[in-house]
Chains A and B, each alone.
Chain A
């Protein structure tokens, strides 16, 4: 599977990509915010988008809404990885169109289970 990892923290992008590599997923693109994420996707599609919530320029929620509003990306599975884990946050993310939700801190097993559930 090919992934796009969108997070303003280079540390968190590295951790997520390291985790994906451990799970056997070697094809990973990166973006630092939603605007960059849309630009990456305009160059070619991926099998799953993994995005943070709190980012400059375009938040994760606005990025997800933009993906869902476009014919080219409206069906791509989206996983949100964030510390925002209150019930209201999860409801807002689900309404915006995420397929699943990973709360930081997370283990590789959690990431694998959420990816599998998002594409099921």
Chain B
């Protein structure tokens, strides 16, 4: 049975997400209570993942609907969501990169730093992510202007 993820890591990830959205998306997010899984969305959705390794090993994943992702990308780029087209994977990958990077930097204040990977982005409908290794997972839902997005922390080898 994997160990539960320490509260300090969950809190650090939560503040990292809040920092990124306030500063770069110009829209605040409100965290909800931690949940076990990201709900399986039937509409087109997007997942962006950044892995990290070093003192800790795992990944940070961003999940949202395509509509929510377009709102985020539009706000970041200063254009309307309707104008978003090919920019979506790059914009959401950059969101995941900044969340993971901020999380890494905050953790480095009290433990050895990890290295982070480039983001990988998956878009589609009716899919779910699975992990082959035994991992500890936690999912934090956030609301942004009435929409929900999820940020997942996965740790291996705790």
A11, A88, A89: the one contacting B94 at CB < 8 Å is: A11
A12 interfacial by beta-carbon distance below 8 Å: yes
Closest beta carbon of chain B to A64's beta carbon, Å? 19
Closest beta carbon of chain B to A107's beta carbon, Å? 6
A14, A18, A104, A107: the one contacting B98 at CB < 8 Å is: A104
Binds B, one of A38-46, A69-77, A78-86: A78-86
B37 interfacial by beta-carbon distance below 8 Å: no
Number of B interface residues in the complex (CB < 8 A): 25
Q: Measuring CB to CB, which residues of chain A are less than 8 angstroms from any residue of chain B?
A: 9-12, 14-15, 18, 54, 82-89, 103-107
Is the CB–CB distance between A85 and B76 below 8 Å? no
Binds A, one of B2-10, B85-93, B131-139: B85-93
Return chain B residues, CB-CB under 8 Å to A54: 118
Return chain A residues, CB-CB under 8 Å to B116: 83
Is the CB–CB distance between B20 and A105 below 8 Å? yes
Closest beta carbon of chain A to B85's beta carbon, Å? 12
User: 1/0 per position for B93-124, CB-CB distance to A under 8 A?
Assistant: 11001101110110010000100101000000
CB-based closest 5 A-B pairs: A83-B101, A105-B23, A86-B113, A85-B105, A86-B108
Q: In the docked arrangement, what's the CA distance between A83 and B90, Å?
A: 16
Q: Measuring CB to CB, which residues of chain B are less than 8 angstroms from any residue of chain A?
A: 19-20, 22-24, 73, 76-78, 87, 90-91, 93-94, 97-98, 100-102, 104-105, 108, 113, 116, 118
Return chain B residues, CB-CB under 8 Å to A10: 87, 90
Which residue of chain B has its CB nearest to the CB of A104?
Answer: B98
Is the CB–CB distance between A83 and B102 below 8 Å? yes
Q: In the docked arrangement, what's the CA distance between A104 and B19, Å?
A: 10
The contact sample of 5 A-B pairs, CB cut-off 8 A, is A9-B93, A83-B105, A88-B113, A103-B105, A104-B98
Return chain B residues, CB-CB under 8 Å to A18: 77-78
Q: In the docked arrangement, what's the CA distance between A15 and B91, Å?
A: 10
Closest beta carbon of chain A to B101's beta carbon, Å? 2
Known: A9-B93, A103-B105. A83 touches B23 (CB 8 A): no
A9, A84, A107: the one contacting B101 at CB < 8 Å is: A84
Known: A86-B113, A88-B113. 20 other contacts (CB 8 A): A10-B87, A11-B93, A11-B94, A12-B94, A14-B77, A15-B76, A18-B77, A83-B100, A84-B101, A85-B101, A85-B108, A86-B105, A86-B108, A89-B113, A104-B24, A104-B102, A105-B20, A105-B22, A105-B24, A107-B23
